[in-house]
Amino acid sequence: MMPKTGHPCPDTPTPWAVARPGTAAGGTAPPGASRLAGVPASPGAAVGPVARMAAPPTPPERAPAAEDPAAEADRARAALESVARWLDARAAGLTGDGAAVLTAQALMARDPELARRIGERTEAGQAAARAVHSAVGAYQELLLAAGGYLAERAADLADVRDRAVAVLLDEPMPGLPDPGHDHVLVADDLAPADTVQLDADRVLAIVTRRGGPTSHTVILARSLGIPAVVGCAGADGLRDGTAVAVDGDAGTVDVDPGADLVERIRHRAEHRRSLLAESTGPGRTRDGFPVALLLNVGEGDPGEAAALDGEGVGLLRTEFLFLDRAEPPTVDEQTAVYTRLLDAFSGRVVTVRTLDAGSDKPLPFVRTGPEDNPALGVRGYRTARDQPGLLTDQLTAISRAVRATGTRTRVMAPMVSTPAEAADFAALARAAGIGEVGVMVEVPGAALLADRLLPHVDFVSIGTNDLAQYTMAADRTLGSLPELLDPWQPALLSLVASVGRSGERLGRPVGVCGEAAADPLLALVLVGAGASSLSMSGPALPAVRHALARHTRSDCVRLAEAALAEPGAERARQAARAAANPRTALW
């Protein structure tokens, strides 16, 4: 156990070594300056002038009635078509998720049903801009009422509307600012079309008023390595050009920071960059305890994922193979895709998650029946109750790909709730020829009975995104409950620790593959709570690897104990930070 009086690490002290919880970058706000608080979303700190997202244009409520309805409908259609072409052009310069999001938005702009609704409004005398605005508004309400994945698409549609209205009113295109210099991007929230175009060389940090810890903005900021604070209520008051210091580890935004704070942040950013550049190789604590650092992988080029410095794949989200299709992919088609991926990761381990359909990922060929609460309905492994063929086909395809490549492959099912479900899944997977079988722990019921569930499987992986939503009864797709979804909630951590203890007792590895694993300080807590592998997006790996290398396993246990003893998320984060090696230079 580490002495209480100081940390024995022989590292060169830096000005950041004095950083203390609750003081961004170790400084106090100078007199007259103010500090805004939000949710720490993507690590690192930066200082720079604010550039706000342009406000969306609003068409005048009471425009004179349109004289030529047909001409107005044509103008509206032309505006939507020009937006669709603009989105297509941007999609052409991207690959993977980014291109798919923009292409889907272009389809929305060309939706004939939307055109029909606009036509009804122009017929009734509305001018083109007002007709587009109100027709999209009505459409959005339908999506919002459907909930889940469809409700999230409402934001994409709003973005299409704002761009089309801007074209019609001849106003500047809403969206990302381009002040021509480095800036801190401040927004209410970021639409997918904005996030995929973000210029990581110009955007020093991101601050949003809305958004929770698993929102689009967070995932994007982390994948680009940009510091971010979300759920920052005071972001509304930030004006263009105002200097701010953003601390993505502490979740603070200092307005008009003093010269000292600016200097410290610059130094910290520089120091961080050089530290992370040196962080390579397998994950280990300072005393040599191995913690496998794995990658979360979805759609995209397997070669690009395999080029990253990860020890394998900890979560292959297979949904990308099934989305946007009327029929499921055939066994042959799936075998070909899995074979390419397993080939690319030859010599490493790949953890394939079986299809996680339902709830926020509805698929036309997965029948769930009408559901008022889809997140509590037929999703993940539960879809196999009525449609076992989808799962058995997928297991057959994975097994064939394993035989073809020889790559070490583990297979796990999402949303398993009981030991009996774990046993059934393990039997199915083994019958299909899979050697290493596990389940995800994302339902509190599964976590609470880990002792009885683990004997049926070879490993478990904790999905903290869903485990947070079900533990705190807070919909993860909502931006309005960020503090409940905060993975530092001690209730969530205590479930992780209970699974960790069961894993240690029964000799079964426990991993974590939710967003929580990508936060370097929280990663230490998770290891202290019993995780022996952590899976995350590629850009998050170096900071987690570096943090681990600065702490012994017993340090991690001490951090976990400190966080678990607190009553709330923010206090847990502060307690862990106070107990961590201050020379880690990441917080």
Conformational region of residue 151, where left means phi above 0, alpha means psi within -120 to 50, and beta covers everything else: alpha
Q: Which of 513, 546, 551, 556 is catalytic?
A: 513
The DSSP code sequence of 290-333 is B-EEEEEE-SS-HHHHHTSS-SEEEEEEGGGGTTT-SSPPPHHH
- Residue 213 binds ligand PEP (CB under 6 A): no
Instruction: Give the binding range for ligand PEP (CB under 6 A) out of 91-99, 187-195, 344-352, 464-472.
Output: 464-472
10 burial (CB, 10 Å; 0-12 / 13-18 / 19+) is exposed
The closest alpha carbon to 334, from 270, 392, 377, belongs to 392
Q: Is 216 designated active site?
A: yes
Among 82, 392, 418, 465, binds ligand PEP (CB under 6 A): 465
SS3 478: coil
Residues 444-463 that bind ligand PEP (CB under 6 A): 463
> CB 466 → ligand PEP: shortest distance, Å?
3
Residue number with CB closer to Mg ion (105 or 296): 296
Q: Using CB distances below 5 to 8 A depending on partner kind, what does residue 487 bind out of ligand PEP, Mg ion, none?
A: none
Around Cβ 507, how many Cβ atoms within 10 Å?
7
Smallest gap from Cβ 319 to ligand PEP, in A, equals: 8
Q: Is 514 in the site for ligand PEP (CB under 6 A)?
A: yes
Total number of residues shown for the chain: 587
Please say which residue, 21 or 374, places its beta carbon nearer to ligand PEP: 374
Taking CB under 6 A as the criterion, the residue among 513, 534, 559, 560 binding ligand PEP is 513
Q: Is 553 left (phi over 0), alpha (psi -120 to 50) or beta?
A: alpha
β-strand pairing of 252-255 with 243-247: antiparallel
Per-residue string for binding with Mg ion, 166-205, x by CB under 5 A?
Answer: ----------------------------------------
Nearest to 299 by CA among 350, 341, 339, 330: 341
Q: Is 317 in the site for ligand PEP (CB under 6 A)?
A: yes
CB closer to ligand PEP, 294 vs 513: 513
Q: Which of 466, 475, 519, 555 binds ligand PEP (CB under 6 A)?
A: 466
Q: Looking at 466, 475, 515, 570, which residue binds Mg ion (CB under 5 A)?
A: 466
DSSP string, 531-569: -SEEEE-GGGHHHHHHHHHTS-HHHHHHHHHHHHTSSSH
Report, in Å, the least distance between residue 476 CB and ligand PEP: 8
CB of 463 to ligand PEP, least distance (A): 3
For position 573 contacting ligand PEP by CB under 6 A, the verdict is no
**Residue 586: CB minimum distance to ligand PEP, A:** 22
What does the DSSP 8-state code read for residue 208? E
DSSP 361: B
Residue 463 is a binding residue for Mg ion (CB under 5 A): yes
x/- track of binding to ligand PEP for residues 397-436 (CB under 6 A): ----------------------------------------
Work out whether 28 is an interface residue with ligand PEP (CB under 6 A): no
Torsion angle of alpha carbons 517, 522, 523, 529, nearest 10°? -110
DSSP state of 4: T
Nearer to ligand PEP, 257 or 538 (CB): 538
Q: Is 513 a catalytic residue?
A: yes
Task: State the binding partner of 458 from ligand PEP, Mg ion, none, CB within 5 to 8 A by kind.
Answer: none
Point out the catalytic residue in the list 216, 456, 546, 551: 216
Instruction: Decide: 280 and 84 in contact? Cβ < 8 Å.
Output: no
* 549 neighbors 284 (Cβ within 8 angstroms): yes
CA distance 22 to 171: 42
Which option in ligand PEP, Mg ion, none does residue 464 bind, with CB closer than 5 to 8 A by kind? ligand PEP
Task: Report how many residues bind ligand PEP under the rule CB under 6 A.
Answer: 10
Position 477 contacts ligand PEP (CB under 6 A): no
SS3 35: strand
- Cα–Cα nearest to 470, from 502, 495, 438: 495
530 lies in the binding site for Mg ion (CB under 5 A): no
SS3 257: coil
Q: Which of 105, 252, 351, 464 binds ligand PEP (CB under 6 A)?
A: 464
Is the dihedral angle over the CA atoms 32, 36, 40, 46 positive or is it negative?
negative
Tell me whether residue 132 or residue 313 sits nearer to ligand PEP (CB atom).
313
Catalytic residue numbers read: 216, 513
Residues near ligand PEP, by CB under 6 A: 315, 317, 356, 442, 463-466, 513-514
Residues near Mg ion, by CB under 5 A: 442, 463, 466
